[in-house]
Amino acid sequence: MDSENSACGNPNPNPTLGPSKLMLAFRFLRALSLVHRTTPASSRTCRGRRIERAAYASMAYSAGTGRGWSRAVLRRLHHRARRRAVAPRRLSTTAGNRAEALRQLVPGGAGMDYCTLLEETADYIKCLSMQVELMQGIVDSSSSYGP
């Protein structure tokens, strides 16, 4: 799954402007079809998680390696390829300090200073919202065309 994403040519050429929606769509759709093809129809949750991982992977590849959070996501994906790990979602309410909570949410946030953390959060939010838009669009159009 990662290989096909990474085989897709150069990373994001303009990291400051944010990932291009087109590349995001391309990567995600490709990964999505792969997941659909390779996982058996019975294990829906398994497929769902794979799709989610594919979403994060395509997000990270589109964002390029210029961003701390994208590097962290890719690192996590590569290292945990065997385990069924998804994006960690520890409840931030347990963390008293808000900065700590934010660090838990944003991938790679633990090793950053506060200033960088804010910057990465902004980029992460941009990419996340793009990804959500894309997925919503796919769901909508596929449901309208659905069987």
Partner 1 sequence: MDMNERDECSSEKNEHHLTYSNAGFSSGWQFRNPSVGIVPGDQRGSMEDSFNPSLWKLCESDMPAIAKPVPATSRFDDGWTPSDSSSRGGTFLPSGPPILTPTLSHFPADSAFIKRAARFSCFSAASLGSMAAPFGASHLAGAQIHNIDINMAKDASLHDVEPGEATVPSGVGGGHENADSSSKDLAAKKRRRSSEELEAEQGDPQMAAEAKTESVDTDHKAEQSSSTAKPNGKHDKDASEAPKEDYIHVRARRGQATNSHSLAERVRREKISQRMKLLQELVPGCSKVTGKAVMLDEIINYVQSLQQQVEFLSMKLAAVNPRLDFNIESLLSKDFLQSHGGTSSAIGFSPDAVHPQMHVSQQGLVQAEISGNLNHPNAFRRAVNSMPNAWDEQLQNVMQMAAFSSNSQQPRTQ
Minimum Å gap between C-beta 79 and partner 1 is 20
Pairwise CA distance, residues 25 & 23, whole Å: 5
Dist CA 65 CA 44 (whole Å)? 31
**Residue 6 C-beta: closest distance to partner 1, Å:** 10
Q: Looking at 15, 34, 66, 71, which residue binds partner 1 (CB under 8 A)? A: 34
Cβ-contact 47, 39 below 8 angstroms:
yes
Q: Are residues 129 and 73 in contact, defined by beta-carbon separation less than 8 angstroms?
A: no
Contact status: 64 vs partner 1 (CB under 8 A): no
Contact track, partner 1, 102-141, x by CB under 8 A: x--xx-------xx--xx-xx-xxx-xx-xxx-xxxxx-x
Residue 28: other Cβ atoms inside 10 A: 25
CA 140, distance to chain mean position in Å, is: 20
Q: Measure the CA–CA gap between 134 and 85, rounded to whole angstroms.
A: 23
Residues at the contact surface with partner 1, assessed by CB under 8 A: 3-4, 7-10, 21-23, 25-26, 29-30, 32-37, 41, 44-45, 47-52, 54-56, 86-87, 89, 92, 98-99, 101-102, 105-106, 114-115, 118-119, 121-122, 124-126, 128-129, 131-133, 135-139, 141-143, 145-147
